[in-house]
Amino acid sequence: MRSIQVIGIYAVLLGLGLICIPNTLLSIFDLEPTNEPWIRVLGIIVSEVGYYYVIVATKGSEAFFRASIFGRLWLFLVLIVMIVLGIAKPILILFASIDAASAIWTLKAMHTETVRQ
């Protein structure tokens, strides 16, 4: 499914960026630089999840597709709450929006496939 493949590639690239050039990415989004290893650990996890998305996109798994919709909408909701509470900077709305848009894209694609059958 194309939407799963696209979000997977996005996640792999974002994860690699967090591993290789974390402070460059953080500065682009007006976030504070860090020397802590956790940003790179996050990059490893994000790229790993992205890899799973890319592989599953080629093999197909309705259960994974449905679970990923929930997961991406959960990420959207939690980031919005963090922004509203002042825990996170508003720039994170960009990441939240990408996940929400891709979840909606997947949901529509799954609905379209169901209607065709």
Give the domain ranges of the chain.
2-116
- Give the H/E segment covering residue 85: none
Q: What percent of the chain clears pLDDT 70, i.e. is strictly above it?
A: 97
Question: CA 4, CA 16: separation in Å to the nearest integer?
Answer: 18
Average pLDDT over residues 90-106: 94
pTM to 2 decimals? 0.89
Return d(Cα 49, Cα 45) in angstroms, integer.
Answer: 6
d(CA 30, CA 19): 18
> Tokens for 85?
């509470």
Distance from C-alpha of 116 to C-alpha of 81, rounded to nearest angstrom: 37
